[in-house]
Structure 1
Amino acid sequence: MHRGKDDVMEYALLIYGDEKAWAARTDEERRTNGERHARFVALLAERGVEMRGGRELALAGSATTLRKKGDAVSVTDGPFAETAEVLGGFYLLAADDLDVVLELARELPEDTIEIRPIVPLPE
């Protein structure tokens, strides 16, 4: 991967979890989770890692999936895959290298975080 014009790499941290388990959490557990995310964002600033975006996503059942096969296009309600773990949110970070992002991602409260480099747009 080559770097963008500001000489840092961008990484998407994709946060997966079980929506049924999330729905079963108490208000205190949700509050604690939110506090841990706030500490994560503060840690990014302390480490000089820029957060370029990030949000919690609506429940997977609210998704619309577009599938293309040749010239045929179908649009269906719901997520693409039937699975217990679904994409629940993301962060978009700019960091010097993957090792920094891996170290920081360990601080997130969720158990499954997929980290992907962002392909820079051509100049």
Structure 2
Amino acid sequence: MYVVSRRDDLAVLRIALEEQYERHRTQLALLARQTRRLPGDGADVAATSALAAASRRALGDIARALHYLEQGRYGTCAGCRRDIPIEELARRPSTRLCGTCRPGARRQRHP
């Protein structure tokens, strides 16, 4: 049976995060171009601004995750210092707390 190590899982997540980062950068560039072309319609400008803000937040979250990966701190719960499950990191790459430490999260027990 082939067992993948956590290091291998994190390397795959790094690739996914880098791809997501580039997609958000591209989306921001397209939104900026679209904003310059939009007529004065307030609804379109507001929607475009909201999308741009969401992309900027995602870029910040992804950049932080990549920074923590570089430092070897990614995937460790800031609360209890245990490893955050890879599945959770894949779902929420910017998470810094495990399911036990995250407020309002469904409680999970550590093994």
Q: Normalization by structure 2: what TM-score? A: 0.29
Structure 1 or 2: larger strand share? 1
Structure 1 or 2: larger helix share? 2
Rg larger in 1 or in 2? 2
Greater RCO, 1 or 2 (C-alpha within 8 Å, sep 6+): 1
